Amino acid sequence: MTTRRIGETSVTRVYENAGPGFPAQHLLPDWDPAVLEEHGGWLSPNYYEAATGKFISSIHSWVIRTKHHTILVDTCCGNGKDRPGFERFHMLNTPYLDRLAAAGVKPEEVDYVLCTHLHVDHVGWNTKLLDGRWVPTFPNAKYVFSKVERNHWDPARNAGLAPAQAAIFLDSVLPVIESGQAMEIDMTDQIGDGLLIEPAPGHAPGHVVLRLLSSGEEGVFPGDVMHHPIQVYRPEWSSRFCADPRAAEQSRRRLLEQCCETGARVFPAHFGAPHVGRVRRAGAGFRFEFDHGEGA
């Protein structure tokens, strides 16, 4: 695994699984294969599988270690979660916690778990199965997510949820609320020094991003504001899973502009290897400059 530094803070990727995911047209309904004429050279093989037409997708968490806190950003899909209709997420059995330990982090050492939003592949390891009950995986952590997200995905507050959507909340979010470990925020907040939470709605109603500021450097954790690096070049392409595609595009353009202005390193939730980079201007648009890291 690769660890990168933002000022005095370290950031390490802990992965759950990676490989071909959704067909390009399925994930991005506006997908135009003609884009391969310009970008096919770098898309394949790390970000697009030409033989199947599928995007390469990684599902991972980011571990941030500051002088005072250990923060886990998004918690993937989790083990043993019943996810009918989501084959890639259904009843997994991965060594995620072993990989977290290899990154030097025990579950009890995590101070904060930040969920950028409450979709299936961002909350799974919030909980684990213990003696037939779902309990918080990180017993000493505060679990941070927006009130808007909680209200939208809580079946007790939103009677219109499909059963599969309600199940995600019930096994991966409700147990941390019942344990008293939830920290519900108004989409703008701060975790310790230099960790700023800002709203980025569209993909999900209460989606947030995390900005890490340390010693004059910046990192940004955009969650699903971008699923795939081609969206840097085509920010108008929102995913099929965006609740409000227009708002998602606006959040994405705002983030891209901000990253260009600040030179922030971007730590996306699903980009293929090397997973991280910086946004640069390219004429009237943007390009992504991949960063191969500072250490194995």
Question: The domain that contains 184 carries what CATH number?
Answer: 3.60.15.10
Q: Centre a 10 Å sphere on the Cβ of residue 9 and count the other Cβ atoms it contains.
A: 22
Backbone φ and ψ for 143, nearest 5 degrees, come out as -95, 115
In a domain, 131, yes or no: yes
Q: In this structure, which long-range contacts are made by residues 216-219, counting pairs with CB atoms below 8 Å and at least 24 apart in sequence?
A: 216/7, 217/6, 217/7, 217/265, 218/6, 218/262, 218/263, 218/264, 218/265, 219/4, 219/6, 219/9, 219/11, 219/264, 219/265, 219/266, 219/267
* Per-residue model confidence (pLDDT) at position 295: 39
In a domain, 295, yes or no: no
* Per-residue model confidence (pLDDT) at position 296: 29
In a domain, 97, yes or no: yes
In a domain, 89, yes or no: yes
Structure tokens of 102?
């290899």
Please, are residues 268 and 275 in contact by the beta-carbon 8 Å criterion? Answer: yes
In a domain, 94, yes or no: yes
Cα(186)–Cα(145) distance, rounded to whole angstroms? 9
Domain count for the chain: 1
* Per-residue model confidence (pLDDT) at position 193: 83
Domain range for 110 is 3-8+14-290
Alpha helices (runs of H) in the chain, residue ranges in sequence order: 24-27, 35-43, 96-102, 120-123, 147-153, 163-172, 174-178, 230-233, 245-262
Helices and strands, counts by H and E, the chain: 9, 17
In a domain, 219, yes or no: yes
In a domain, 260, yes or no: yes
In a domain, 296, yes or no: no
* Per-residue model confidence (pLDDT) at position 56: 97
* Per-residue model confidence (pLDDT) at position 113: 98
Task: List, for the chain, all residue ranges whose pLDDT scores fall below the cut of 70.
Answer: 293-296
